[in-house]
Structures are given as C-alpha cells and as structure tokens.
Structure 1
Amino acid sequence: MKTILATIAVLVFVATSWVSAQVVRGNPKEGQAVYEKNCLRCHGEKLDGNGPESRDLIVRPANLQSSIVRSKTDWELLVTISNGVLFSPMHGFRGKLTDQQMLDVLSYIRAVSPADIVS
C-alpha cells in the first residue's frame, strides 16, 4: 500500500512539474491587434471598461485594470475569454479566435495592466 501511495505521489509531482514547466506565453503585440478588433468596443482603449459601446450595456464590462481582474489567474481569464460570462454581454470567443489569439490577448492585458493599481 505504501508503495502504491509513493508511486502516485511521484506521478502527481512529475505531472504537475511538467505542466507548470509548459508555460506558453502569448505575443502582446499580436494581442493588441486582436484586442482592438474584438474587445475595445466594450472594454475601452484604457482597458477600464469604458469603451464606446459600454454605455448601452446593462451589465458593465469588466475593468481589466482592476485589482480584482489582475488577481485572477491566467487560466481563469482564458476560461472567461473562451466561454464568456453567463448573464452578461461578455460572449465567448471559442471558435472565433484561435487558442494562440486568446493567449496573445491575455498577454496584452497583462502587459498593459500595471501591477500596483488599486481599485
């Protein structure tokens, strides 16, 4: 029994180490172009949720500069970009953007958002 548990522990450690080493970064410059085409209308030029179409929405777009959004993991943000947010105008981009484009947008958001902003 101890051998089985030890083997499982080693497999979990190796698997998680391998996964954490598989960091795929997007290209912020490419992400800016994708953002401007697909996100700017609602989230705005400053990523503050004050885009030109945001005034017409009942549910306001997220302020991507806020500490709440910045505290989310890359995985959480990618899920949001991919699947959207239920009961909000944030629709999912799965099938509209490639996985690489979503990573690029995420990299752009991370690059533009300052680390020390408080909201």
Structure 2
Amino acid sequence: MTRTPLVGALCAVVLTSSWAVAQIPRGNPDAGQQIYQQHCLRCHGSKLDGNGPDSNDLIVRPANLTSPASRSKSDWELLVTISNGALFTPMHSFRGKLNDQQMLDVLSYIRSVAPSDSVS
C-alpha cells in the first residue's frame, strides 16, 4: 500500500490552511533543550548553527536553525521535519524515537533560541 498520495494530499491541505499552523501546541523549552542535547547537538551544534561535532563528516550539511531560511519556516514545517526527517539529507525521522510531546519540546527549544521570522 503506497502512502505517497495520502501524504501529498495531507501536506497540501496543511500547507494551505493557516489554522493548522495556529493549532500547534507549545512544548517545554527546558525539556526540549535536554532532548536537543541528546539527539540533535552532534549535527546541529550547541548554537543551533549546523556546526556540530559530526557536521564535517556529513555530505549534506545540517541546517543552520538560526539562519533566516530556517527562522522563516513555520512551526509546522519544522515539526514535520523533526518527525519525518528530510529527504536526501542525513536528517532522519524521529517518529518512534521521540513521542509527540518530546518533538514539541524540541521545537519550543529551537524557537526559544531562534524565534520565527514568519508572520503568523
């Protein structure tokens, strides 16, 4: 069973619906910092700048989460990336490794260090 059409349709609905972005509950940035340090720091770095200790060993550099490009992404876009990973990059899915609350906590930590530039 292929899920590609379903995922594509769901993404289209979500990306065109401003209410979806507004519905993302907030997590705990303090708990998110601990999770980030355990799972994300090696690639994204302590400053969230993509210069973690393992970043030089990767063919595709980790995202600089403090860059204008990352800060302009909606919370929903970042949450989808945390959950599902990013195609053709070393950013793997954390679905099944982190629960929903933990992913929200990481998102809240990222936003506490690099607030969104997008208009809500």
Q: TM-score range by the shorter chain?
A: 0.7 to 0.9
Q: C-alpha distance in 2, partners of 1:19/1:115?
A: 16
Please list every run of at least 4 consecutive aligned residues from structure 1 whose deviation after the TM superposition is greater than 4 angstroms. 16-23
Q: Which residue of 2 aligns with 1:112?
A: 113
1:26–1:62 distance in 2 versus 1, CA, 3 Å: same
Per-residue CA deviation, residues 47-83 of structure 1 (Å, 9 max, x unaligned), is 0000000010010000000010010001100000000
1:87–1:26 distance in 2 versus 1, CA, 3 Å: same
Q: Which residue of 2 aligns with 1:102?
A: 103
**SS of equivalent to 1:86:** coil
Alignment of 1:47 with 2:48, yes or no, is yes
Look up the equivalent residue of 2:25 and give its one-letter code. Answer: V
Tell me the CA shift for residue 24 of structure 1: 1.1
Q: C-alpha distance in 2, partners of 1:43/1:19?
A: 27
The TM-score normalised by the length of structure 1 is 0.78
Give the % identical residues. Answer: 73
**SS of equivalent to 1:63:** coil
In structure 1, stretches of 5+ residues that fail to align are 1-15
Look up the equivalent residue of 1:60 and give its one-letter code. Answer: R
Aligned length in residues: 101
Larger radius of gyration: 1
The TM-score normalised by the length of structure 2 is 0.77
- Structure 1 residues 19-28 or 87-96, which shifts more? 19-28
